[in-house]
Structure 1
Amino acid sequence: MLEISKRQHKLLRLLLEQKDFLPVNHYSKILSISDRTLYKDIDKLNKALKKRKIEIIKRQGKGICISKSNLSNDEIIKSFAEASIQIDFNQFPLERQIKIADYLLLRNEKVSYQLLSEKFLVSRTSISNDLDQIQTIIEGSSAAIRSDNNGTKVVGKESEIQKAIKQYAYFIIDKSDLTSSFKVQFSDLLFRFLPKDIIEKVSMLLHTNDHFDIDKLPDNYFQSLVLSISILISRLQEGFHIEHQDNFLFENVESLKTFFLANELVEHLELNNSIKFDSNDFEYLNRQLVAHGFEPQLKDTTTQKQYDAVVKKMIKEMSDSIQVDLTSDDKLYMNILYHLVSMIYRSKLNVPVSNPLLEEIKREYSVLYSTTWLILAGIEKELGIRLTDDEVAFMMIHFQGAIDRISENRKILIVCPTGIGTSELIANRLKRVFSPQDIVEVTSLRKLYKRDLNKVDLVISSVQLEKIEVPVTYVSPLMSKQDLKKVSATYLDLFYDEEESKDHSFEHLGKIIDPTMVFLNETIATKEKCIKKITQKLLQDNLVTDSFEQAIWDREKLGVTDLPTGVAIPHPSPSTVKESKLVIMTLIKPIRWNLRMVNTVLMICVAEKDLKDIKGILSEIYRIVESKKNVDRFIFGKTKEEIMKVLGGDKID
C-alpha cells in the first residue's frame, strides 16, 4: 500500500467527492492550511497517484480537480495507507497532550516544564515531546509556542491563535477516525479539548434558524463553521478578542452580504453564553459565514409569493440601468428577497440599522449606490416604507456581488526570480492598481516558459524576458512609485477602451441638459431658497409633479447629498419626475447644504422611463464632481454657452 499523511488522505477523499474544478482555497480552508502547503500535498499525491494513472489536474482560473479513473473511489482510497504520526501515543499521552493544548491554546496560560512534569507525573522529556508535537500540529498558523526563563506560552495575533486551536481540533478529529455525518455528531475525544455545551449550542442554533440555509452546506463546511464559532465563543469567555484587521474595501463589502445573518447569530450567542462581541469579533464572525458559503433564505413561501414581483422588478430595472443582465441570477434573487423582507420589517417597526461602510461605499461605489437608491425610491410608496442611506448601501452590496459573479477576471502573472519574498512584495503593492476581480499569480522564470500563456492577459516582470506573445511590463524588485505608475498606465491601456476613457464625451448628460435649466452666479443665501427656485421652474415647465419638492426634502432627510468638492447633488424619486432634466446652479457665495459649504448644485431629475440610462447619467455626473479641478473645468466659472457645449447639449440660439 502507498503511504500518505492523514491530511493528504483527507484531501484525496475531498477531491474524489467532487466532480468539477474548485479553487485551491476551497480545500485549504477546509483543511486549515495555506494554499502553498496544499500545493505541496498535491505534488506528493500526484507522485503516489501516478502508479494508478490518476492525476490531480491544476487549471488556471478554475482550480483543481482529480482526473477520471476506471477504479471506484473506495478502491482508490483503499490503495493508500495513512502515514503514522511521528510520536507513537498511547491513550494516556494523547489525553495529556490535549490537556496541555487546552492550557496553552484555549486559555493562553503560561506553563513550565517543571510544573507540567509534576502534574502529569512524567519526565520533562515527555513534556518537551508533547510541546513539540503541538507546535508541529499548529504550524499552519502564525501562532507559535515560545519559552523563556518565565515559562512557556503561545504568542501571536488572536485570529492566528484561533486558527491554531482549530488545527489542533482537526488533529483530534483525525485521531478519532470519525466517519459519521458531521451534522449529527462530533467525536467524544474532541469534547476533552473544546467545551461540549458550546459546540452543541452552536450546532443547534445553526440548524434551527430558519434564515440559515444549512441544507445546501456540505458536511465538512458545516463542521468547519461550527468549530470556528465555538472556538471564538470559548476565547471570548476567556476574555480574548479578535484584533482589528485592515482589509481592502472590496473585501469588507463582500463580508456585508451576511451582515444581518451575523447580527441575528450574535444576538443569540450573547444571550446564551453571557459574552459580548465587539466590532472586531462581529466582523470576524461575519467573515466566517462568508468564507463557509452561507446564503440567507426564506422558508415562508407565502412571503416569497407576496414580494416575488417586486424583487423581479428591482432586478430587471437594475439590469436595464447598468446594461448587464442579472435576471437569471437565482442567488441574487434570494439575497434581494431576504433583504427586502427584513428591510420592510425594520422600516415599519422603526428599527434603524447602521452600515459600518456607508461613507466608503458612497465614495467608492458612488454610481451603483445612486442607481440602487433611485430604483429603491421607486418602490418606497408601493411598499409603504422609508429608506435610509444605510439600507440602500446594504442592498447595493447584493447587486455588486451579482455583477462580480459575471464579470470577466483578468489573469496577471508576476515573474521575479530573486525570491518569493520579493514576488509577494510586488504582488501586494500592485493590488492598488488591479481590479479586485483580477487573478494575480506569482510564478518563476522556469515555469513561465513551460506554461500555456494563451489565457494570460498581462505579465509583470522584474527581469528581462525572452519574447512571449503576452504584454509585458518591467518593474524593479522594490516596486517603486514610478513602477506603479507604469503598471497602472499599461493596465488602463490594455483593459479600458477609448469609449470608456474618453474625457470630453457626455453622451447621456447631453440628452437631458437644457439651457433654461442652467442658473449661473445666483445670489441665493440658503439651501431652502435654492431648492424652492429650482422646483418652481420645473413645475412651471410641467417637468415634475406637485409632490416633487417634498420628494427632494424626503431624500435630504435620509442622508447627505453634498460632496467634499463643493457640489450638492440632490436627486428626487423618479416617480415625481415627468421629463428627465439636469438642473445646474452656481452661486456667487457658498451656502451651507448639509455638512459642507457648496457653490455648485447639480440636481439630477430622472424619470422612470429613463432609468435604463441612469448608469450613464450618474457616471458622467461623477466624472464632473470627483474633483474640484473638474468642477471648475466643466461648470463653475463657465458661461451658459460653454457649459452647454462641453456637456454635449444643444447649441444656444
Structure 2
Amino acid sequence: MNVSSTKEKNILQFLIKHKERFVTSKELAEHLSCSDRTVRNTLKLIDQTMNVQGVKLISKQGQGYQLFFENQEAYQEFRLTYELGEVYSTTSISKGDDRLAFILNKLLFEQVPVLFDDLADELYVSRSTLSHDFKKIRRMLSEYDLSIESRANKGVYVSGEERYKRCFIMDYFLSNQFFKTLHCHVQSNFFDQTLSLEEIARIVLEECQDAKLKLSDFVLQNLVVHIALAIVRIKSGFEIKNLSCQMSNNDTERKVAKKILARISEVSNQEFPVQEIDYITLHLLAKSQLSQETQTKISKEEMKRSLVQTFQALGLDDIYHFSSDFQLFEGLITHLMTLQIRLDSRITLNNPLVDEVKKNYSDIFFMTKEILENMETFSQVSISDDEIAYVSLHFLAAIERRKENDKFSVLAICASGFGAAQMLRNRLEAEFGNRLEVVDVIGYYELNQEKIQGIDFIVSAVDLSNLYFQVPVFTVSVFLKNDEIAQIREAMDQMQVSNHTKSSQINRSASDVKRYFSKDNFLIWFNQDKKSLLSNMADVLSEGESYNFKDSLLHGIQQREELSSVVFSEKIAVPHPIQALGTEVKIAVAICKDPLLWDDQNSNVQLVFLLSPSIYGNEGLTDVTKRIVSLTEKEDLQNQLIACNNFEDFMKIFENVT
C-alpha cells in the first residue's frame, strides 16, 4: 500500500484518532474539505492495498468506516509501516503543553535522573498537578509500547524499546507547531523533495542517540531547518564561509556532524563543503555549555532576560504573550546563541526563504527586525535580512501555535469517570473538536476545586445543580443529543475563553479590516505641527475610554518613539503606545495634505496610522499592520490615499492593499 499522498495519510490519521468508533464518509469529507465520492474511492484503494497482518478496514452500511487492530503489536506495526504519527501534539494537548514538553524533554533527551519532587519545584506546581501531567504522559507513551517507571536514586524514566522512543520523539516533537508552520506556510516544493524535514530529523536523532549525545528538541528543530536550507543554498550556488573558531576533530559533536552529513549526502546526492560540518557541530554544542573555543559573550539567562525586556518594551506581550511561551523561548534562544557566534565571526548565512518571508509575512519580518534592533545584545551590530527571515520563522510558529491553543478548556463529568465517560468525551470531540479541548474526564467523586482551575465550562452527565461553580455547567446525556449540542454551541458563541482573553481568529477579508476604522476617527490634516496632530488623533480615540486615556496614550506614544522610529517609510508613520491601554482596538488615520516634519530624519510624512491596541487581545490587528507594511512598498497606492478627501474613498483603496 502506498500512502504517500496527503489525502490517504490524513484519512488514516483521522481513522486512527477515532479508532474506537465508526467514522462516516461525510465526516471524513468535511475533515478533508473534499467530496463524499473522493473519500469513498480513496478508502476503497486503501482497503485493496492494505497488507499489514492483524489490521482490517471495516465498513458498515449506515455506520461508516473503522480501523480494527487485533492487538497492540499490529497497531504499532501499522503506524511504523505507513509512517503515521500520533495526534497528541495537535489535539489532545494544548493548555499545559509547555509543561508536558518540558517534562518529556527531560525524560527523553537529557538522560539524567528526574526526581518527582525536584520536578515539581522546578515547574512551580503541586505534586497533584504533576501527577495529573504524568497521567497524560503515560497515556501518550502507552500508544508506543512505552511506560513510565520509577526507581530509587534513578527517579522517573521512560522504559521501552529505543526504536519506539525515537518514533515517539519524531511524532511528538517534530509534529510541533514549528514544523507545521513550515509545511503550511512555505511553498510545498521549496525544500528538497528527495529528503523531507522529518527524514532529516530522523537521521540527526539516530546519530546523536547512537553516540549518546544529549540533544533537546529545540536544538533538533533548529538543526533540521539549517540542514534543509543548506541543501537549497548549496544547490543555488551560495558558498558558506569558514568559522573563525575551529572545533577539534576529536570532539564527539564533530564526529556526529560528519556522520549526519555523510548519510544526508548519500540520500540527497548532495556534496557538502567541509565548513558545513563546523556549523552542524555548532548547533550540537548549543545544548551543552559551549566549549572554550566557541564561548559566546552572553549567557543563555542574559539572552532570555534581554528578550523579555524587549517584548515588554515594545508592547508585544500585550498582543502575543511571547514571554510566557516556553517553546518560543527555548527555540529562539538556541538560534540566537549560534547567530551571535556567526556575527562575531562576521559570517552571514544566505537564507533561500528570505524573499518568501518578506513577501508573505512582512508584518512578522518587520516585527522580528524591530525586536533584534532593540535587544541590547544585537543593538550595535548589523543583521542581514537573511538572518532576520530565519529568526522570523520562530515568531510565525509561536503566533500560529497560540491560535491553535485558543480553544475552550472543558471538564467532562460522569458517575465514575469510566465507560460512559469516554463516550461523552468522544461525542464532544466529534462535535466540537475544532473549538474545545476535553482537558479531563472524571467521576463525580473526583470533582474538586483544583480540577476546575483553568476550565472554561463543565459538561456533566450527572446533575450538579446542588453544587455552585464559577464556570458554566451543561447537564447532558452521555450520547449528547441534538438539542444539547445546540445549547452548548450557542453558549460557546457567547462566551470568551478563560480570563476573558480569547482572541478572535484572524479573518483576512476586507470587512474584517474595516471594523477597526471609523469615519469619526478619520482626519484630513493641513497643519504641519506633529504635536497638534497627535493630540487631535488621541482625542477621537478617547471616545468611550477612561477620563485620563488621552494623556496616557500620548505618554505611551512618546515612550515608544524613544525606543526607535515609528516611521515605516518616507511618507508613512505608525505611532502607537508602548503598551495596550484601550478597552477595544481602535485606529485613527490622518491624511496630511502638506508633508509633516516628524523628526530630525523624516520630514515628508503624509499618512499617519495611530494604533490603540486593546488590553483584552489584538490578534485581528495583525492583518492591519501587515497591510500597512505592504503599503510602504507601493508608492502609487500611497499617492492615491494621500489624494483622498473623504473616509469612503480612503477605505476603498486601503481594503484592496495586499
TM interval, shorter chain, is 0.3 to 0.5
Structure number with greater Rg is 1
Normalising to structure 1: TM-score of the pair? 0.36
TM-score (norm 2): 0.36
